[in-house]
């Protein structure tokens, strides 16, 4: 019998305590309604924004405190990303899953540092790698002591401000780990296509989830926001929080 999929959901970047609370309350409601595992996701620093003037977040110290408050109030396990090796230890004391950004998935020192924390390590597949290539980041993590490694598909880039998803990457990556997650929101990005910002097509997010299910995905990564049109990062590809319930229901059918 197949186990229930896991869900990772939350805003792209920490904007305010109010936004985190609104999202967390809805995730708890959906967790209890559907009896599924949901990890709360938000970034304390978006170190890879297109423009130098783009909002990056509250920083590590304040951001980790805000994430810890979410965990204490709502009992949701936490996931956040790190960009530098020195961040692994302090961030790993607060969150349950350390995420390695796609562009950094070959950075050996970052993978090793994350793996030594005892946290689950979620490695996003780079936009320039195949599913088969992800064997090597997994091996780096396991050889460095990682107790559990996840892989996440988020599309491939061939230029021209667009991403293409080859769903064969999902079964390919399941050769290396039992947990292969579909990033349903970053995969509909249009990188750099919005005048110095990343654009996107959020209307395709539910279809990405269902296609990934057909190829055997075991989890779904979904950046959500109460008002994505006014979000401070990744608004065009984020799912409206109000639409998350229907997506989860359809994935679970």
Structural domain count of the chain = 1
Backbone angles phi, psi at 195, to 5 degrees: 65, 55
Does residue 79 lie within any of the structural domains?
yes
Alpha-carbon distance of 41 to 12, in angstroms, equals 8
Does residue 162 lie within any of the structural domains?
yes
Does residue 34 lie within any of the structural domains?
yes
Name the pairing type of β-strands 120-124 and 149-153.
parallel
Residues 6+ apart with CB under 8 A from 21: 70, 73
Does residue 87 lie within any of the structural domains?
yes
Does residue 21 lie within any of the structural domains?
yes
Range of the domain at 63: 6-252
CATH number at residue 88: 3.20.20.70
Does residue 1 lie within any of the structural domains?
no
Does residue 102 lie within any of the structural domains?
yes
pTM (predicted TM-score): 0.93
Does residue 123 lie within any of the structural domains?
yes
pLDDT by position in tens, the chain (length 253): 468 999 999 999 999 999 999 999 999 999 999 999 999 999 999 887 777 878 899 999 999 999 999 999 999 999 999 999 999 999 999 999 999 999 999 999 999 999 999 999 999 999 999 999 999 999 999 999 999 999 999 999 887 778 999 999 999 999 999 999 999 999 998 776 445 546 778 899 999 999 999 999 999 999 999 999 999 988 889 999 999 999 999 999 9
For residue 78, the surrounding DSSP H or E stretch is strand 78-81
């Amino acid at each position: 019998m197949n186990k229930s999929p896991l869900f990772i959901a939350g805003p792209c970047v920490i904007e305010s305590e109010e936004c985190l609370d609104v999202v967390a309350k809805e995730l708890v409601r959906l967790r209890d309604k559907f009896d599924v595992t949901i990890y709360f996701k938000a970034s304390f620093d978006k170190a890879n924004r297109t423009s130098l003037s783009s909002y990056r977040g509250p920083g590590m110290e304040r951001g980790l405190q805000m994430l810890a408050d979410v965990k204490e109030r709502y009992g949701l396990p936490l996931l956040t990303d790190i960009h530098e090796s020195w961040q692994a230890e302090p961030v790993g004391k607060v969150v349950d899953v350390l995420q390695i950004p796609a562009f950094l998935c070959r950075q050996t020192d970052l993978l090793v540092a994350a793996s030594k924390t005892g946290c689950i390590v979620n490695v996003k597949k780079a936009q320039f790698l195949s599913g088969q290539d992800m064997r090597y980041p997994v091996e780096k993590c396991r050889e460095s002591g990682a107790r559990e490694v996840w892989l996440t598909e988020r599309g491939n880039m061939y230029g021209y401000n667009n991403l293409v998803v080859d769903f064969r990457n999902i079964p390919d990556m399941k050769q290396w780990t039992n947990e292969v997650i579909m990033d349903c929101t970053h995969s509909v990005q249009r990188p750099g296509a919005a005048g110095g910002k990343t654009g996107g097509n959020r209307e395709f997010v539910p279809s990405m989830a269902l296609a990934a299910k057909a190829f055997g995905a075991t989890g779904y990564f979904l950046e959500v926001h109460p008002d994505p049109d006014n979000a401070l990062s990744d608004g065009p590809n984020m799912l409206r929080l109000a639409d998350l319930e229907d997506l989860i229901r359809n994935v679970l059918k």
